[in-house]
Chain A
Amino acid sequence: MIAAATPGTGTSTSTRGKLKVRLIVQPQYCIGCRACEMACAFTHGTGGQPGASRCVTVTTGKDEYVPMFCLQCDHAACVQACPVGAITRDAATQQVHVNNDKCVLCMACTVACPFGNMHYDPLRALIHKCDLCTGYGDDPRCAMFCPTKCLSVERW
C-alpha cells in the first residue's frame, strides 16, 4: 500500500484521516496499458489527448510501469512555490487544488513538484494535476477503467 509521502523528510504521513477519496496505487500490477491516461483525458474534457492527462504512466523497466499522479502532499511544494497563491488546500475535499482563474502560468509549480506530477497543457494553456475527478461525478475514472487491480478507490 502506498500512501502519500511527505517530500524531503522520508517519512510517510497518511492523509487518510483528511482525504475523503483516495486512489490506491499498486504499481506491481500495472501492465502499462494506459487506459488510466485515456480515461483521465476524456473525463476532463480534453478529447482523449494523452498529453492532457493528469495521470502519466512511466515505464521504469522491462514490463515495469508506474502510473503517476498528484500525491496531494501535506506540505506541498507547489503550494509553497506559487507566487500568487493559486494553489491551496481545498477545505471541503482536503485536496491540493489549482485555481486556474488565479494562475498566471509562470510554471513555478511544474518545476517545484518533486515528483513531476504538476503538468502544463499548452493546447488549453492551463496548469492541471490529478483532482481525483472531483466535480466530475463518480469515482476517479482511472480506477474505474484500470483492467487490473493496480488502481482502486477508497472512500472514507
Chain B
Amino acid sequence: MAFHMTINGRRVDANAGETVLATARRHGIPIPTLCYHEAVEPFGSCRLCMVEVTKAAWKGWKGLMTACLYPSAPDLIIETDSPRVRQVRKTVLDLLLARCPDADVIRKLAAEYGVEQTSFVPRENPDKCILCGLCVRVCETAATAAISTVQRGHHREVGTPWGGPPPDCIGCLACAHVCPTGHIQYSEAGGGRKIWGREFKLVRCKETGKTLPITEEQAAFLVKRQGMDPSYFATSEEAQRKRTATTLGKIARWDKLGLVQEEVKS
C-alpha cells in the first residue's frame, strides 16, 4: 500500500512498513547513519539519522526522531537537514570524537559538521569502538551470537563470555566487515585466521588444496544453519569454475561435432 509524504519539501511516495530512512534512501535523499545496516534490525543508538518530523495536525509542533526506526506514514513532513537536526548531529559527532579521536570515519563526519577537534574531554586510552552495536547484532543474525555488549553506561563494551576467546565464534569476520571504524582486528596467515583471540583453520579445497575464504567452523555452521550439503563448502571458486567450464565446453563441442542427437529445445 503506497501513500505520500514530504521530505525536504519534496513530495515522495512511501510504502506501508517502510521507515523514513528507507523511504528517503529510495528517493536518493541522503541521511547519515553509523549504527544502521540492512542485515540487522535498526537499533537507534548512534542518533545520527535524527530528522525533524511534523504533520499538519500537530499544529507546528516538531519532533526529532531517528529515521531508521520511525515508520513512514501518510502526510508526514520530514526535514533531514534543518538547523536543529544539524546541531544534534554536530554534538553527537563531537561526543563521538571525544570517545574515539582516532577513528577516521568519525573525524571525517565530524569535519562535515564543523567539528575539527572535540570540545569535550577525550577518553583516556581510546580505541575505535563507537558502540554502534553492529558487530553484536550481525553476529546474532548471521552467525552464532558469540559476542555481546557487556556492562552499562560508559563502561559498556563489546565483550565475550568471561572476557576470554568466544567459544561460539566461527571466524566468519562478519563483525569486522560491518564495523564502521575498523576497530575489530583480525589476521590471516598460513591457512589460518585469528580473531577475538581465537584461531581458525581455513577450509582447503578438496581438489586443489588451496584455502577457501571460510573457516572450517563456518562451513559446519552453514551446513547446519542453512540446511545445505557439506559438498557445497568443500571446493574453491576457481576449481568449481574450471570444472564447470570444462564440462560446458565439452558439451558445446560435442554439439559442434554433431555428437549430441537432439538440441535443447527453446
Contact = CB atoms under 8 A, between A and B. Distances in A.
Q: CB atoms of A and B under 8 A apart anywhere in the complex?
A: yes
Interface of A: 1-3, 12, 14, 16, 25-28, 56, 58, 60-61, 64-66, 68, 77, 80-84, 86, 99, 101-108, 110-120, 125
Contacts of A101: 37-38
B142 A114 contact: no
A108 B248 contact: no
How many residues of B sit at the interface, in one of the four size bands?
35 or more
B63 interface: no
Interface string B255-266: 110000001101
A66 B225 CA distance: 34
A108 B39 contact: no
Contact of A104 (B178, B214, B246): B178
B264 A102 contact: no
Contacts of B244: 68, 114-116
B242 interface: yes
B249 interface: yes
B contact face: mostly helix, strand, loop, or mixed: helix
B172 A58 contact: no
Give the secondary structure class of A's interface: loop
Nearest to A65: B249
21 contacts: A2-B248, A2-B252, A3-B264, A27-B249, A27-B253, A58-B246, A60-B245, A64-B249, A68-B241, A82-B226, A83-B142, A83-B143, A83-B222, A102-B38, A102-B39, A106-B142, A108-B222, A112-B232, A112-B233, A114-B244, A125-B177
Contacts of A2: 248, 251-252, 264
A100 B13 CA distance: 24
B233 A111 contact: yes
